[in-house]
Amino acid sequence: MKLFLFLSFLFLRIIINAQSCDSSILFKKGAELEYKTYAPKGGLFSKGNFFEITKLTFTVQDVKDSNNVKYSFITKRGINPNDDKLSYEKKYILTCDGSKILIPIDFYSADTIYFSNVYPKVSKDKGIYSATIYKGTCIYNFPTDFEKNKFGITGTNITMNMKIRDYEMAFTQQNGSNGIQKGGPENTGRIVENTFSLDMTVKKYETKGKENISTPAGTYECKKIILTTESEMFGRGINTVSTLYYNTEVGFIKSETIQSKNKSGYTELVRVKK
C-alpha cells in the first residue's frame, strides 16, 4: 500500500511538472514569438527619439523530456528591419524542471545590429554596425508559479566582447576642454572598426508586484522585475536599471533599460503564434 501511494505521488508530481512546463509557449513545438528592439537616436547617452534597431524572432524547433526535465530547442533570428535579407541565427536550449524555467541572460538581446539600419539614409554598407559575444554564466530563473517560488539569477558576472563599426568621429580642442565633436558622424565618411570588452555584474534584483502591460501583441498580466547591473565603458562607470515584464505563459512581454538617468532602449513583444 505504501509503495502504491509513493508511486501515485511520484506519478502525480510528474504530471504537475509537465503541466507547469507545458503552460509556457516557450515549450510548445512550433510556437513563434516576435519582438522589436529600440534604441535612442544619437547614441547611448543621448535623449533622442527612439528607432527600431532589430527585429527578433524565436521559433521552438523541438521539445524533449528527460528525467522529469523539459528541454526546448529554440532558434533565435535577428533581422534588420530595413532589409530582411540581412539576418543572423543563434541556437538556444531552455530547460524547465516544473518549478522554474532557465533562460540565458542574452536570450532576448539584440546582439547584432546592421550598419544600414543605424544609418539607412547615408550608407549602403551591408555589414554589421555592432556584434556582441557573451561569455560567462548568467541565467534567469523564472518560476512557473510566482506565488510559490521566487525569481532568481544563477551567476552574476558576464563579459560582453563587442565589435563596433562606425563613422570616424572628428574632435577639436577648445578652451582646454577634452574636445568637442565637430560635425555629425554622417559627414565624416570614413568607417572605422573597434573592439572592446565590457564586464557586467548583476548587483541587485527584486520582484515588484504585478502590472498589466499592453504591446502590439496584446495585453498581459506580468510580474515586474527590477534588475540593477554595473559595468564600465571607455573608463566610465555605468549603472543600468532594467525593468522586465514577464508573463508565465509567454515569457518576456516588455523590457526597458535606463543608463545614466536616460532611457537607453526597450524591447517589446509584437507577435505570438501558439
> For the segment 45-63, what is each residue's pLDDT rounded down to a tens digit?
455 578 888 999 999 999 9
Instruction: With a cut of 60, say whether residue 251 has pLDDT above it.
Output: yes
Residues sharing a CB contact under 8 Å with residue 30, sequence separation 6 or more, in sequence order: 59, 60, 273
Residues sharing a CB contact under 8 Å with residue 107, sequence separation 6 or more, in sequence order: 76, 92, 94, 140
Q: What is the torsional sign of CA 205, 207, 211, 216?
A: positive
pTM > 0.85? no
Tell me the pLDDT band of 1, cut-offs 50, 70 and 90: very low
Instruction: With a cut of 90, say whether residue 17 has pLDDT above it.
Output: no
Instruction: With a cut of 70, say whether residue 173 has pLDDT above it.
Output: no
pLDDT of residue 42: 60
Instruction: With a cut of 80, say whether residue 230 has pLDDT above it.
Output: yes
